[in-house]
C-alpha cells in the first residue's frame, strides 16, 4: 500500500506540492542523518479519519532519542519499565494502571490526532526539522480546521501555540505549557482531559475515554 493510500482522506487537506517537497528533503535527510521516527512511522498519528477526529493535540517534535519516537506525539513503548518523562507528566492527572496503552494508539482510534508541529527530528537535535515541516503543518491546519469546525485543539508549549493563527473557527482551543517544561520546573500537569471532554460535550461530541 502506498503512503497516499495509507493516509486515506487526510491527503485532501495537504498541499500536494508542499507534501512532495517535504518528502523529497526527508529522503535525503534519512540518508545522511539518524532521523526519528523510522520513516514508515512519520504519519502514524493519522490513524483516525478526518470525519471522526474530534481532538487535535499538538506538541513540538518527536522524541529525539533513538528508538523512542513512534510517530504519535508523546507515545512510546515501555522500555525497562520506564516511559519518557514528558509522557509521564502528560499522564499525571489520569489514574492509569499497568494495562495502559503508552503508545497512545487507543486515543488515536477514538478520534484524537496526536500531532507534532514537526513530524521528524534529527537524533539528539530538538527542533532541527521545525522549519522543514512548517509550511506543511500550517497549510494542513488551515485546510482541516475550515472543513471540520467541531474539533478541540490542545496546544502544548510555545512552539505549538505559534500555530494558533492557522486554526480557523478557533473557539475551542486549550493552551498549556509543554510537559517537558513542567517536568523541568516541577510544576503539576493541569487536567486538560476534563477540559477537553467538557468542550466535546458542548459540541455534542462523544467524550474521550482517556483510560479504561
Find out whether 45 and 73 touch, Cβ atoms under 8 Å: yes
Residue 31 preceded by cis peptide, ω within 30 = no
Query: For cell 501555540, what's the residue?
Result: 161
Find out whether 208 and 193 touch, Cβ atoms under 8 Å: yes
Half-sphere exposure of 174 (CA within 13 A, CB side): 22
Q: The C-alpha cell of 10 is what?
A: 487526510
Rounded CA-CA distance 88/26 in Å is: 30
Please confirm, yes or no, whether 124 is among the known catalytic residues.
no
Determine which one of 61, 97, 101, 186 is catalytic: 61
R_g of the chain, CA atoms, integer Å: 16
Cα 98 to Cα 44, 102, 188, 211, 212: the distances in Å are 24, 10, 21, 11, 11
List the catalytic residues.
61
Amino acid at each position: 500500500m502506498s503512503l497516499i493510500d495509507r493516509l486515506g482522506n487526510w491527503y485532501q487537506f495537504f498541499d500536494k506540492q508542499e507534501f512532495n517537497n517535504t518528502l523529497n528533503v526527508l529522503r535525503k535527510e534519512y540518508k545522511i542523518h539518524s532521523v526519528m521516527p523510522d520513516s514508515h512511522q512519520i504519519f502514524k498519528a493519522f490513524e483516525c479519519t478526518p470525519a471522526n477526529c474530534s481532538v487535535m493535540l499538538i506538541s513540538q517534535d518527536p522524541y529525539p532519542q533513538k528508538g523512542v519516537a513512534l510517530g504519535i506525539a508523546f507515545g512510546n513503548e515501555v522500555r525497562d519499565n520506564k516511559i519518557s518523562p514528558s509522557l509521564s507528566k502528560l499522564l499525571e492527572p489520569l489514574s492509569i494502571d499497568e494495562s495502559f496503552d503508552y503508545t497512545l494508539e487507543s486515543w488515536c482510534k477514538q478520534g484524537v490526532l496526536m500531532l507534532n508541529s514537526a513530524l521528524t527530528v534529527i537524533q539528539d537535535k530538538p527542533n532541527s526539522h521545525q522549519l522543514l515541516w512548517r509550511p506543511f503543518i500550517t497549510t494542513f491546519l488551515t485546510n482541516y480546521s475550515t472543513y471540520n469546525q467541531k474539533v478541540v485543539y490542545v496546544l502544548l508549549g510555545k512552539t505549538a501555540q505559534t500555530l494558533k493563527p492557522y486554526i480557523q473557527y478557533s473557539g475551542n482551543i486549550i493552551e498549556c505549557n509543554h510537559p517537558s517544561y513542567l517536568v523541568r520546573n516541577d510544576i503539576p500537569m493541569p487536567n486538560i482531559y476534563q477540559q477537553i471532554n467538557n468542550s466535546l460535550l458542548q459540541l455534542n461530541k462523544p467524550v474521550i475515554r482517556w483510560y479504561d
